[in-house]
């Protein structure tokens, strides 16, 4: 399975969804069960889809070599799932003008095959999953949070999030889902991950694409955080699927842009977790 196939499969999955376009199992992020490392970027979505379509009961994965090192085996006839990552690789170049040889590092796309724990002899071994407390995250935000009836938004100029009061929402779960979306936007600030926030809905084509990309980054980050924190609601995921569909349209001409979106969403997800954790430890 190559990267283009994964991207096209993902687009088809979102477009054909009438409700929950992904079904995270056990409220967990896809992770490596030999070292508890979470997968990132496009691999998160790809492994979620694989788990759903193949009927696995877990989102835990590992390579054949890692499974063997744990004295485990892959069940006969089972096929692995491809994951993708960029590995820094040094290459040599010859300067045409000076004929001098130079060395530089470029990212090279690499692939691995991983197997779900359900495909192995280790399927009955337990792995603990940390569920983060929403109130703890809310009390340790790295950006100012205000509450008023002006709506839910992130203001990049003044660097703050505004939210309606929690009792304005259908449930507290919806409040936190919206807060996580706006929190994801706040990671784009130049003092954090420095993403482009100059996109506009009614601007040029480039501005519309930029806006759509940022919305997809924020909503995907929200999905990652929602799963990590055990916040799961069928109604919320129905809205999430419709939201993703609406912003996918301007990006369909370049499916590979989804790689960038999920990569940036992973960075935002990790930034939020790491900085919230740092504040908790410093307290």
Note the pLDDT tens digit of each residue in 228-269: 887 765 555 555 656 666 667 666 667 678 888 889 999 999
Report the alpha-carbon distance of residue 238 to residue 243 in Å, rounded: 9
Q: At what angle do helices 205-228 and 257-282 cross, to 10 degrees?
A: 50
Is the Cα dihedral 37, 139, 172, 148 positive or negative? negative
Look up the pTM and report it.
0.75
Q: Which residues contact 52 (CB under 8 A, 6 or more apart)?
A: 22, 23, 25
CA angle 24, 192, 220 (to 5 degrees): 20
Identify the DSSP state of 121.
T
Greater pLDDT, 163 or 133: 163
Residue 219 token pair: 């909503």
Q: For residue 253, count other CB atoms closer than 10 A to its CB.
A: 9
Is the Cα dihedral 210, 213, 217, 223 positive or negative? positive
> SS3 for 31?
strand
Residue 232: what pLDDT?
Answer: 61
Residue 31: what pLDDT?
Answer: 94
- Report pLDDT digits (tens) over 186-223: 999 999 999 999 998 888 988 988 998 999 899 889 88
């Amino acid at each position: 399975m190559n990267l283009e196939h994964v991207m096209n499969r993902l687009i088809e999955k979102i477009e054909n969804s009438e409700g929950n376009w992904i079904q995270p199992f056990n409220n967990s992020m896809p992770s490596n069960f030999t070292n508890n490392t979470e997968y990132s970027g496009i691999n998160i979505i790809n492994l979620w889809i694989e788990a759903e379509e193949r009927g696995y009961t877990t989102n835990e994965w590992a390579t054949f070599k890692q499974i063997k090192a744990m004295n485990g085996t892959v069940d006969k006839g089972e096929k692995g799932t491809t994951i993708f990552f960029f590995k820094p690789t040094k290459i040599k170049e010859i300067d045409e003008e000076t004929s001098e040889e130079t060395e530089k590092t470029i990212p090279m796309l690499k692939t691995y095959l991983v197997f779900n724990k359900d495909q192995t002899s280790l399927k009955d071994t337990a792995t603990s999953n940390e569920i983060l407390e929403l109130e703890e995250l809310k009390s340790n935000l790295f950006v100012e949070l205000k509450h008023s009836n002006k709506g839910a938004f992130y203001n990049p100029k003044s660097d703050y999030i505004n939210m309606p009061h929690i009792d304005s929402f259908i449930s507290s779960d919806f409040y936190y889902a919206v807060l996580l979306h706006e929190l994801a936007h706040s990671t784009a600030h130049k003092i954090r991950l420095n993403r482009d926030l100059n996109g506009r809905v009614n601007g040029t084509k480039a501005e519309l694409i930029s806006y759509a990309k940022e919305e997809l980054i924020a909503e995907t980050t929200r999905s990652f955080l929602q799963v990590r924190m055990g916040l799961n609601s069928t109604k919320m995921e129905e809205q999430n699927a419709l939201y993703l569909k609406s912003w996918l349209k301007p990006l369909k001409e370049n499916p590979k842009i989804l790689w960038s979106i999920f990569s940036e969403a992973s960075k935002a997800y990790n930034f939020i977790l790491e900085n919230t954790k740092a504040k908790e430890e410093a307290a």
